[in-house]
Structure 1
C-alpha cells in the first residue's frame, strides 16, 4: 500500500506525552493516564495537500476505567518543500483555528436556536501554535463516516449544497455580531505563490498542446495558452472583497469532494460532513458555488443539473435567513446568478488547473509508480517534485472523460467571454 511519504513517520514530539496532554484538556481530567498509543498515516495519497495528517489510536485510564479513542492529528511537515513553504507563516492554520473555535460553534448555536440540527463538521479537541502547530480532532470514522473515491451524484451534491446554503446564511446573519467572519481573507488566490503559478502554467500549457490534437478545436489552443500568467490577476480580483459584489458570505473555500466524509448505508449516502477550513474566505458566494460545481459534482450532475442545483441552494439559503429572522436585504436568485457570471474566470481556471485530476485516482497512480521503482516505502505526494508529478499527471489531460468535458465546455467559455483576458 502506498502512503504519503511525509506521513509514514510521525514527528518525535507526537508521542504518548503529547496525546496525554490532549486528552487531559479535552476530557478536563488531570488524572488521566495514557497507557499505549499507535500512530499511523491518516490519509491516502491525494486526499489532501496543505498539511500532514495522522491517526492516533490511544488507550488510556480515566476515572478508574480503561478507554480507547481514535484521534486525527493535523500538523505541518518538518522538512522543506512546497507544503512547508505554504504553511510556514501559519496563516492557513490560523484561519482553521478561528473557524473551529469561533465561527462554527456560533453557526451551530444559531442553527440549533431555530430547531435545525445540521452538523457541519467534526469537533476540534485541541490546538496549539507553540512549540508545534497542531490541531487534534475527533475521528469521525468511528461514527461510520468514510472517504469517497468519486465525484458526487445529484442527490449527494444536494446534501452538501443544503449545508453550504445554511452555512452561508448563518454567516450573513452572524457577520455583524461575530465580526471575525469578515476578517477571513486568505482564500485560494492569496495563498498561492510563484511555484504554484509555475506548476499551473505548465499544466495550462500542456492542455493547450493537447487541444491541438482535437480536430475542430485547434483554434482554442492559443486562447488557452494565453491564460498563462494572466489568469492569476483575474483570480485575485475574484477573491478580493469588493463593493461591486452584490452580497458576500463566508465561503468554505475548498469544497472538494475529498474535503468531506460520508456516512453511507446500504449503498446510499445519508450524511456528509465538511472538513478543512484552511482557506475559508469572506467574499462572493460564487466562489463556493463555482468551485464545488467542478471539484465536488460529477460531470453528469454539473452538466445536466447545474441550474437545478443552484436554485436548490438558493431556496435553502433564503429559507434559512427567514428562519433566523434576518432583517437585512435578502438577495434574489438573479443576484446570485449575476455573481456567478461575474466570477466566471474561476470556472476556466478550475477547468484547466484542477479538473483533469478529478478523473484519476492518485492512489492507483502512485501504486503503479511504487511498483515500477521497486519502492515499498511509499511515494511522497508533493507537487514540488515536478518531474515525478509531471510524469504521472500528464496522462490526465489526455483522459477521454476530461477531453469530452472540455470539448463541451470550451465553446461555452468562449461565448461567455471567459477565454478573453
Structure 2
C-alpha cells in the first residue's frame, strides 16, 4: 500500500503532550497519562490533497479509566515544503476555518434535523478536538473503529449510487432548512473553481489536453474533436466558475468536494454497501445543489444519472416535509433547470475527474505533487476501458445538446 510522502512522518508536535490535550479536550476524560502511542498515515496515495492526515493509536490512563486505548484521526496542514504547501498557503479559502465551522456549528444541527425526520444513520464523523493556534489541526473519532471502510469498488453500482445520492440529499435538505431558519455563515464560495489559480494545477490543464487528444483518435467523433479544438482550457474553466458562483434556482450548502474518496461506507463483508458517512468539509460552497450532483456524477455511469437525480430529489423533499420546513419547497423542474445550466461542468469533469477517479489505481503510482510538474503519467488513465465507456456514452449527448457549441461561441 502506497502513502503520500508528506504523511510518512508526523509533525514533531504530534507527541504525547498533544495527544493528552486532545483526549482531555471535551472534558469527558481528566488527568490523562499517555502510556504509549503509534502514529501512521491515515490515508493512501491520492485519497486527498488539502491536508495531511494521521492515525494515532493511543494507550492511556485517566481518572476512573486505569487502562484504556483508542484510535483517533489527526488532520493538519502540510509541513513539508513543496507545491502542495505553496498552493494551500496562497488560496483565499480558509480550509480549516471552514471545516471547524462545519463540525462545530452545522453538522450537529443537520444531524438533529435528520433524526427528527426519521433519518438516524451517522452523517459525519465526530470532531473531538480543534485548534488554530499554534497549529491548524482537527482530530476526529476513527471511523474504521466503527466498522466503516473505503469504497470497495472502482465504479458505483445502482445500489451504491442510490445510497450515495440519498445521503447527499439528506445533508442538502438539512442545510436548506437551517438556512430558512436564519442560520449564519452559509454564504461561502468554495469548491474547486474557487480554490485559486488553475494554471498552477497543471494536471487539470494537461488532462483537458489528453482528453482532446483521445477524442481526436476515436472513430465517429470527428465533429466533437473539431469543436473541442476551438475550446481553450481557460474558457471552460471560466464558464464553469461563472455557473457555479451564480445563484441557483434554490440554494444549499454544497459539500464542495463530493466524491467517492470523501465518504466511508458500511456493509456486509465490506462489499455490499448499505450505509455511507461523509468526511472532509473543507471547501463547502453556497449555491445550487447541481454542483455536488454533477461533481459526484463524474464517476456515475451516464445511464444511471437520471435515476440517481430522482432518488436525490425525492429524499430531499421527504426530509423537508418530515422536518416541517416552513418555506415553499423546491420542485424537481428547478433542479433539472440548474443541472442543464451546469452541462459545461459535465464536460469539464468528463475530461478531468472521470479519468482520474475511474482509472485503475494500480496504474497511478505518482504522488499528487509530482503531477504538478509532470502530468504525463496520467495519460494511461485516458486509454482505459472504464474511462472510454464514459466518453462514448456522454460526449455524444453533450454534443447533441449544444454544450460544445455554447463554449465555442461564448465570449
Which of 206, 221, 226 is residue 202 of structure 1 equivalent to?
206
Matched residues in 1 for 2:57 and 2:199: separation?
A: 36
Q: Which residue of 1 aligns with 2:396?
A: 411
Q: CA deviation at 1:178?
A: 4.8
Q: For 2:114, which of 93, 111, 115 is the aligned residue? A: 111
| Aligned match of 1:331 | 330
**How many angstroms does 1:381 deviate by?**
3.3
Deviation at 1:27, TM superposition (A): 4.3
SS at match of 1:47: coil
Any idea what SS the aligned residue of 1:53 has? strand
Equivalent residue, structure 2, for 1:391: 376
Instruction: Tell me what 1:371 maps to.
Output: none
Structure 2: how far apart are the matches of 1:257 and 1:147? Answer: 8
Deviation at residue 17 of structure 1 after TM alignment: 0.8
1:127 alignment counterpart? 130
8 A contact 2:191–2:285 mirrored in 1? yes
Contact 2:343 2:403 in 1 (8 A): yes
Q: Report deviation, 1:172.
A: 1.2
- Pick closer, same or farther for the CA change 1:398–1:380 going to 2, 3 Å: closer
Deviation (angstroms), 1:224: 2.5
One of 214, 217, 236 as aligned partner of 1:231: 236
Are 2:140 and 1:137 equivalent residues in the alignment?
yes
Give the match for residue 177 of structure 1: 181
TM-score (norm 2): 0.92
Which residue of structure 1 aligns with residue 191 of structure 2?
187
Aligned equivalents of 2:198 and 2:111: distance in 1?
A: 38
Q: 1:20 touches 1:32 (CA, 8 Å); kept in 2?
A: yes
Which deviations, in whole Å up to 9, do the C-alpha atoms of 1:157-204 show, x marking residues without a partner? Answer: 211222211211111111043533532222221103143454322211
Take 1:204 and 1:395, find their aligned partners in 2: how far apart are those partners? 14
Q: Write out per-residue CA displacement over residues 390-414 of structure 1, whole angstroms, 9 at most, x where no aligned residue.
A: 2321111122321232122221111
Quote how far apart the aligned CAs of 1:151 are: 2.6
Counterpart-to-counterpart distance in 2, 1:355 and 1:381: 16
In the TM superposition, residue 50 of structure 1 has moved relative to its aligned partner by 1.3
Q: Give the Cα separation in 2 of the matches to 1:145 and 1:207.
A: 35
Between the aligned partners of 2:362 and 2:389, the Cα distance in structure 1 is: 24
Provide the rounded CA distance (Å) in 1 between the counterparts of 2:9 and 2:221. 48
Unmatched 5+ stretches in structure 1: 367-378
* 1:77 and 2:78 correspond: yes
Do the aligned partners of residues 131 and 195 (structure 1) sit closer, same or farther apart at CA in structure 2, a change above 3 Å counting? farther
Per-residue CA deviation, residues 258-307 of structure 1 (Å, 9 max, x unaligned), is: 11111121332121111111111110011111111113x3x2xx31x322
Partners of 2:24 and 2:352 lie apart in 1 by 44
Q: Which residue of 1 aligns with 2:268?
A: 265
For the aligned residues, what is the CA RMSD? 1.9
Instruction: Give per-residue Cα distances to partners, 1:102-124, cap 9 Å, x unaligned.
Output: 01011112222334313211101
